[in-house]
Chains A and B, each alone.
Chain A
């Protein structure tokens, strides 16, 4: 099954505790919703293969615990991630106001600075919204992130969130080429090197 997979991407899901990170992931991978999903301990892991623009990419998705105390443990798993989904709860303003901390966390622990970030406002099925869509959009723009509002419960926007993230990663070649590099397939080398071996008739008099 892995034969036709273009690349394997490492995706992270982070955000405050209880914003629905694991639920989003469960909706994406198993298309189910479990209102009684236990709080994640440390990190959890799921795999899904997606097709984006005709390319199949295998996603290794690391779901993290949002509790403060786990933050000494979980960032070590940030290493090598190519994409991150940063989740907040639209019905909990403090989960939104703490997004800045998470961005700092990313900056500190991510080993690559070009990873693609997607901001997801979760739980839009609920009535008691505290964070307006435009606020989320503004924040995402300010920090050059992709943005979508979603509901793991009603499946709104979930698929889209992951797919757009993957699409963006695949559009950033430097980001994922290295995962196939080990296979030894290197199609294009420096184009400038071509045709410079012989003088090709161009030369100076002496």
Chain B
């Protein structure tokens, strides 16, 4: 015996030693030692032990592999070790194993527990081995075709095995790769197994049945014993069903006509399509297995066969899924995503004419509207918003030439009504854009649909049902069904026009949460919210002045302090009530200089005040008393002033601003400048405070604004009494600090007369300009998060009705991937595409589940025992590579499969009317290979026959050793893979 300790080198090239051969020999030796080295490294030397594999273990456990590159002269090979992963370390208790046991691979040859594994390396399928090494030509190397090369390689392997004492079989891949031809060897103490193979394109007729193959096997074994020990036979026939007949998948084709007719309810626009356009299940493979036969029990020869699939004791099924079935949702997403690469601007896409016309229309309308919005000319509140929107649209329509518009007027009309339901004339409940509920969709959703809330936050999209979300769906829709990028450009142009219209007419944009831009949402959503902030601001200004006027008219004689002439105490108690109620309203009036009452009011008051208290202004802009605090100097209550809110910002503007602030650097000057830049808000608050609290001091302000900077300390004074000393904190007293500086600069000005911190006009124009310059590609990038969000909701909804665990799990993964991706300011397009591909894959899985359920007649709610089994069967078909059919051909699933094959056969071979009669004969009178009538099953697409025995070889007195022949017979593929062992000690 040769072990690793006693290396004996054999020479292969025993022929004439010329210089050339010498080189060849050297190379061979180097190759052999490399192989030995690798086998050593992988610790594959010496004997290996193990229990026979459990039933199905090759499928249930995982396989692993490791690879190395080795060279043979200038030829590169890769050597790969494939092995079934050990679940736990079972190294103990191995000593007592008999020394001359067969190598594991030889034992595996006879083991019947893992015949016909559903998914395995071909060598595992052919030889049943749990561990092996393959040497195959490197990726770019040519195949080993010449016989001499094959032999050289094989003998090198044989030497390496002998030298190392490795008992793992080693295979060499020969011939072209696609032929999967392997030749190999396994060595054990005194035994050797040779793995040989025959591969042909056609099945020779004499081997086209079991008896012929048995002859091959017997001949190859060449067993001298008589009678021959029994040969164990396992057979598996595979049948393919491609024609599903009436059991087509249940998908209803989408109702394009309905959409095109323009008679669509708003709901339809919010829906994404879902489902396949073709059957996502293309084939069903039925494997009928006879796992354990012996020679003589069955007859299968050139004229007769006992192998009726219906009688097979074991059935299993696998389905072939259509590769990337075309699915609606996936197409929808992909088509939209593809617009990302469009370079043209909206104008370029819609053509020049339309721009000019658009421009003209636009100015037309603005002129018309500016007439309407002239302050005193029209009482705005009386004008119905819906009427105005409606008429504006009519105007647009008239100007647009029909043939130039990608979207028909009817289509556009229904889309716009879906986007802006508040503009519908016949829906008075929505027309009141003033009602805050209509614009706060996001807030209420937060409570009711926390799932969705979470999702928009994760994906940085927008709340579902928000305008942005609906816009995204519409864009997708028009892109897919109504004219691609031109339609997208057209709809966008209309949308921007509508935004401008709403701004110019003080009409809030419907379907956006109120308040400052929500930074968790996508930028476009923030922009639209910003526009709403501007509109709200402007409305507050406009209605504020209007209201003042009204108040002045109606209340002058009753409540106004100036007219009642309540005397010198005016600014105190009697005023409290009206001031409070005034400030309770949400309106804040900035820059209302045109306010006539104001102008009239102030001097009048000053005149009165002047008479009594010189230098004491009338308090203005009070919000409410600040607790029970009184001013330090005057004992008057300290009032919290009405203040200006800081300007809302969208994330891009915020980004710019942070950049500016950060660029000021970290020096003291930089910090000072930064503070100064941000002090506008502080200054404004100080001015408001001064206006609301005449006679106040910085201390008063600090008590409201930064109470911790007003320090109160109990101190015992000289006389022994405890007094409370209070003062500004040290940092507020630093000379020249910005708070003091600002306080000194601040004039007593109520918020409504201060310079606006938020310039709504400027901001609105900024937003509108931003919207107008977005190209369709930009738009797609803006809206993609919303579209993905909607798609994920759709998948979730569809999955829920099918209850597919794997989809649920995968969806979570997709969401978290997308979440990471979409938070990045400019997500990688390739990765976005990958997300879409993953969503498509999920859609396909759901589609497959539906298709299979339909085919196997699984009806929801049907609670029979059979249907429960069926349902389980169908769901395992989706998740497992191969599923056993309980009861084989007689079980509930088997019956259905039988019927499916039967009807496909009849459809293929008979006129449809005769079928019932033909079927009545039943399966008894059929022969699998042709014969009278119509067989229920087609000829098998593949036949696998496995022959095993244990006989002495080569001599009658040799040890009995495992012999195995695996045969596969297909239409255009015939393969015999034999493993023949021989005794190397006794022959």
Would you call A203 and B122 a contact (CB within 8 A)? yes
State whether A45 touches B661 (Cβ < 8 A): yes
Question: CA of A9 to CA of B734 in the docked complex: distance in angstroms?
Answer: 33
Nearest CB of chain A from residue B976's CB, rounded to whole Å: 15
Contact mask for chain B residues 86-123; partner A; CB cutoff 8 A; 1 contact, 0 none: 00000000000000000000000000000010111111
Expressed in whole angstroms, the minimum distance between the Cβ of A16 and any Cβ of chain B is 7
Query: Do A38 and B739 have beta carbons less than 8 Å apart?
Result: yes
Whether the Cβ atoms of A36 and B734 lie closer than 8 Å is yes
Once the chains are docked, how many angstroms separate the CA of A110 from the CA of B460? 12
Contacts of B457 in A (CB 8 A): 113
Chain B residues with CB below 8 A from A183, complex form: none
**Interface residue A111 (Cβ < 8 Å from any Cβ of B):** yes
Residues of B within 8 A of A43 (CB): 661, 674, 678
What residues of B have a CB within 8 angstroms of the CB of A112 in the complex?
A: 823
Contact of B662 among A17, A60, A111, A113 (CB under 8 A): A60
Bound complex: CA of A77 vs CA of B666, how far in Å?
17
A185 within 8 A of B: no
Beta-carbon contacts of B223-257 to A below 8 Å, as 1s and 0s?
Answer: 00000000000000010100000000000000000
**A205 partner, pick from B238, B661, B824, beta carbons under 8 A:** B238
In the complex, A18→B707 CA distance in Å? 10
Interface members, chain A 153-206 (any B CB < 8 Å): 174, 178, 181-182, 200-206
Please encode chain A, from 22 to 35, with 1 for each CB lying within 8 Å of some chain B CB and 0 for all others. Answer: 00000001000001
Across the interface, do B739 and A39 meet the contact criterion of CB distance under 8 Å?
A: yes
A7 at the interface (CB under 8 A from B): no
Q: Are B709 and A17 in contact (CB under 8 A)?
A: yes
Is B798 part of the binding interface, using a Cβ–Cβ cutoff of 8 Å? no
> Could you say which residues of chain A place their CB within 8 Å of the CB of B941?
206
Known: A72-B645, A111-B520, A205-B968. A44 touches B674 (CB 8 A): yes
By beta carbon, the residue of chain B nearest A193 is B834
Which A residues lie within 8 Å of B520 (CB)? 111
B679 to chain A, nearest CB (A): 5
Tell whether, in the assembled complex, residue B705 and residue A69 are in contact, meaning their CB atoms are under 8 Å apart: yes
Complex Cα distance, B708 from A92, in Å, reads 10
Q: Is the CB of A201 within 8 A of B121?
A: yes
Looking at the assembled complex, report how far the CB atom of B118 sits from the nearest CB atom of chain A, in whole angstroms: 6
B731 and A37: CB pair below 8 A? yes
Give A36 Cβ to nearest chain B Cβ, in Å.
Answer: 5
- The stretch among B274-282, B339-347, B613-621, B646-654 that forms the contact with chain A is B646-654
Give, as a whole number of angstroms, the nearest-CB distance from A97 to chain B.
Answer: 13
- Nearest to A179 among chain B residues (CB) is B824
Distance A38 CA – B519 CA, assembled complex (angstroms):
31
Cross-chain contact of A206 among B646, B823, B942 (Cβ < 8 A):
B942
Cα–Cα distance between A69 and B666 once the two chains are bound (Å): 25
Nearest-CB distance from A33 to chain B (Å)?
Answer: 13
**What separation, in Å, do the CA atoms of A37 and B732 have in the docked complex?**
9
Q: Does A133 contact B (CB under 8 A)?
A: no
Given contacts A39-B706, A67-B705, A178-B820, contact A72 B675 (CB under 8 A): no
Q: Count of chain B residues with Cβ under 8 Å from any Cβ of A?
A: 64
Task: Determine if A99 is an interface residue (Cβ-Cβ < 8 Å).
Answer: no
Chain A residues positioned under 8 Å from B122 (CB to CB): 201, 203
Inter-chain contacts of B706 with A (CB < 8 A): 17-18, 39, 67
- Count of A-B residue pairs with CB < 8 Å: 119
Residue of A nearest to B118 (CB): A204
User: Which residues of chain A are near B607, meaning CB under 8 Å?
Assistant: none
**CB of B117 to closest CB in A, whole Å:** 9
Report if A47 contacts B (CB, 8 A).
yes
Alpha-carbon distance between A38 and B679 when the two chains are bound, in angstroms: 13
Within 8 A of B (CB), among A111-161: 111-113
Q: How far is the CB of B656 from chain A (nearest CB, A)?
A: 12
* CB–CB B654/A76 < 8 A: yes
Q: Is B729 at the interface (CB under 8 A from chain A)?
A: yes
Q: Does A35 contact B730, Cβ atoms closer than 8 Å? A: yes
In whole angstroms, what is the CA distance A46 to B670 when docked? 10
Please pick, from A181, A201, A206, the residue contacting B285 in the complex, using a CB distance under 8 A: A206
Measured in the bound complex, the distance between the Cα atoms of B709 and A40 in whole Å is 12
Chain B residue numbers with a CB within 8 Å of A73 are 646, 678, 681
Residue contact A202 to B120, C-beta cutoff 8 Å: yes
Closest to B682 in A: A41
B residues less than 8 Å from A42 (CB atoms): 674-675, 677-679, 681
Taken together as a complex, chains A and B put the C-alpha atoms of A36 and B677 apart, in Å, by 21
Q: Which residue of A lies closest to B173 (CB)?
A: A201
Is A44 touching B671 in the complex (CB atoms < 8 A)? yes
**Which residues in chain A, 93-115, are within 8 Å of chain B measured between CB atoms?**
109, 111-113
B318 within 8 A of partner (CB): yes
Is the pair B646, A39 in contact by a Cβ cutoff of 8 Å? no
A203 engages B119 (CB within 8 Å): yes
Nearest-neighbour CB distance to chain A for B175, whole angstroms, equals 15
Chain A proximity of B538: nearest CB distance (Å): 20
Q: With the chains together, A44 CA to B679 CA distance in Å?
A: 12
A201 to B65, CA, bound (A): 11
Q: Which of B63, B180, B519 contacts A79 (CB 8 A)?
A: B519
Chain B residues closer than 8 Å to A40, beta-carbon distance? 675
CA distance A35 to B730 in the complex (A): 8
A38 pairs with B662, CB closer than 8 A: no
Decide yes or no: A41 and B732 within 8 Å by CB, A60-B662, A112-B823, A204-B881 being known contacts.
no
The answer, yes or no, to whether B944 is at the interface (CB within 8 Å) is yes
Q: Can you show 19 pairs from A to B with CB atoms below 8 A apart?
A: A35-B730, A36-B731, A38-B739, A41-B682, A42-B679, A43-B661, A44-B671, A44-B675, A60-B662, A68-B705, A70-B681, A72-B645, A72-B646, A109-B519, A111-B519, A111-B823, A181-B824, A201-B180, A203-B119
- A contact set with B: CB distance below 8 Å: 16-18, 29, 35-47, 60, 67-70, 72-73, 76-77, 79, 92, 109, 111-113, 174, 178, 181-182, 200-206
Given contacts A39-B732, A69-B685, A206-B240, 14 further A-B contacts (CB under 8 A): A17-B709, A38-B737, A39-B737, A41-B682, A45-B661, A45-B666, A69-B681, A73-B681, A111-B520, A202-B120, A203-B119, A203-B122, A205-B968, A206-B970
4 closest A-B pairs (Cβ-Cβ)? A42-B678, A18-B708, A41-B675, A38-B737
